[in-house]
């Protein structure tokens, strides 16, 4: 990738957003979600102390650091190729904690159940949650259940919260990307979003696309065993890789350049995106991570990823630059350059 990108004076041509009511895009992980947090929640919670915008908050307890996270899951349908809402809820919070370099320890689970939900479906969801927790080496230690009237709950919503211990000497966060760093993605992107879309809309793309939902704490542990010199980890869920990179670029005040030719994308996912006019960079993932580390460590980390079952298709997709801070640019397949902005709303609602 060559140097010389110049975005001086660049501005987004889209109009400012002004919504008097919540819209679906406020939950899409893009600009609307960021504005909701920045302009409504953060001012309201200002007295609660400094807010870290990473996947999990860091809390100092005695001489240790805890990584704490909470997440709610409202996916539709409840069961999809490769998983269901239960294991998605367990893996999602585990991954948020792991993105701080922490080893997750315990989780809680809160259920909002709709009157009429078949008990065999709930039993299958609960069973998969137990399997997912054991697979990741965490324990479900607390829970809560509420039931809402028929027609008001879409089956079941699940909230999971949890924490883990950050090992001494680990300092991973969204503000730590530095010019010269390499950007690595752990595998094919867009699998989860297309899996949900295919079953929700009854679409076929020539091959079954399964969700990539998986716990990433084992992969993170392997990477940290290789080197602790990792600056940023992020699981690109809602809003996909594009939104995650934009958040990192803004938090670290650096520029990011990716090469679209290096993006690992399944053929079926690429075909589905081309058919539906979607960009795989914005499609959600539930079992992939982005690692940003010094370029001198990139090849070792890439090899370690590819040796792990969840990282076999890992690839170096770009680099961090001091140019155009706060912006993400992509080299296209034909040699051009385009801005990869954060999405305003979302391509596909209710995916996690």
pLDDT at 103 over 60: yes
Q: What is the pLDDT of residue 15?
A: 45
Map residue 142 onto helix, strand or coil: strand
pLDDT at 3 over 60: no
The domain in which residue 313 lies consists of 181-339
Q: Are residues 152 and 185 in the same domain?
A: no
How many domains, the chain?
3
Of 199 and 51, the one with more pLDDT: 199
Q: Are residues 161 and 191 in the same domain?
A: no
Q: What is the pLDDT of residue 242?
A: 96
Q: Are residues 132 and 84 in the same domain?
A: yes
pLDDT at 201 over 60: yes
Q: What is the CATH number of the domain that holds 76?
A: 3.30.1330.10
- Residue 232, domain member (yes or no): yes
Q: Are residues 20 and 158 in the same domain?
A: no
| Highest mean pLDDT (candidates 5-14, 23-32, 323-332) | 323-332
For the segment 37-54, what is each residue's pLDDT rounded down to a tens digit? 888 888 888 765 556 677
Q: Are residues 82 and 24 in the same domain?
A: no
Mean local confidence (pLDDT), 133-152: 96
Q: Are residues 159 and 235 in the same domain?
A: no
pLDDT at 78 over 90: yes
Consecutive H or E run containing 330:
strand 328-331
Q: What is the DSSP letter of 167?
A: P
Q: What is the pLDDT of residue 304?
A: 98
Q: What is the pLDDT of residue 119?
A: 97
Q: Are residues 67 and 210 in the same domain?
A: no
Q: Cβ contacts of residue 114 below 8 Å, gap of 6+? A: 147, 148, 149, 150, 151, 152, 153, 154, 155, 156
- Residue 348, domain member (yes or no): no
pLDDT band at residue 71, thresholds of 50, 70 and 90?
very high
What is the C-alpha to C-alpha distance for residues 25 and 201, in angstroms, rounded to an integer? 19
Of 17 and 106, the one with more pLDDT: 106
- Do 337 and 207 touch, CB atoms closer than 8 A? no
Average pLDDT taken over every residue of the chain? 91
Q: What is the CATH number of the domain that holds 267?
A: 3.90.650.10
Q: What is the pLDDT of residue 9?
A: 57
Q: What is the pLDDT of residue 13?
A: 46
Q: What is the pLDDT of residue 334?
A: 87
Q: What is the pLDDT of residue 342?
A: 86
- Residue 328, domain member (yes or no): yes
Q: What is the pLDDT of residue 16?
A: 46
- Residue 53, domain member (yes or no): no
């Amino acid at each position: 990738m060559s140097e010389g990108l110049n975005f001086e004076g660049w501005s987004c041509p889209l109009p400012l957003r002004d919504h008097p009511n919540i819209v679906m895009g406020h939950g899409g992980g893009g600009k609307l979600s960021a504005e909701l947090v920045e302009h409504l929640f953060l001012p309201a919670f200002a007295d609660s102390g400094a807010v870290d915008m990473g996947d999990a908050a860091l809390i100092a307890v005695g001489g240790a650091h805890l990584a704490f996270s909470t997440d709610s899951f409202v996916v539709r349908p409840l069961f999809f190729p490769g998983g269901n809402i239960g294991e998605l809820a367990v893996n999602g919070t585990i991954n948020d904690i792991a993105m701080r370099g922490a080893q997750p320890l315990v989780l809680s689970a809160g259920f909002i159940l709709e009157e009429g939900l078949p008990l065999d479906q709930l039993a299958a969801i609960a069973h998969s949650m137990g399997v997912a927790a054991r697979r990741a080496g965490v324990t479900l230690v607390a829970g809560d259940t509420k039931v809402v009237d028929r027609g008001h709950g879409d089956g079941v919503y699940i909230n999971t919260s949890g924490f883990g211990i950050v090992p001494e000497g680990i300092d991973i966060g969204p503000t730590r990307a530095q010019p010269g760093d390499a950007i690595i993605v752990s595998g094919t992107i867009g699998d989860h979003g297309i899996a949900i879309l295919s079953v929700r809309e009854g679409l076929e793309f020539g091959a079954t696309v399964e969700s990539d939902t998986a716990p990433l704490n084992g992969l993170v542990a392997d990477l940290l065993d290789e080197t602790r010199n990792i600056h940023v980890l992020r699981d690109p869920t809602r809003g996909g890789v594009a939104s995650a990179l934009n958040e990192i670029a803004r938090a670290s005040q650096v520029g990011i350049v990716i090469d679209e030719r290096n993006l690992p994308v399944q053929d079926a996912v690429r075909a589905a995106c081309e058919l539906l006019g979607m960009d795989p960079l914005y499609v959600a993932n539930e079992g992939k991570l982005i690692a940003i580390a010094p370029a001198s460590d990139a090849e070792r980390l890439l090899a370690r990823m590819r040796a792990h079952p969840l990282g076999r298709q890992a690839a170096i997709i770009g680099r961090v630059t001091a140019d155009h801070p706060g912006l993400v640019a992509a080299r296209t397949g034909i040699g051009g350059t385009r801005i990869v902005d954060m999405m305003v709303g979302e391509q596909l609602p209710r995916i996690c």
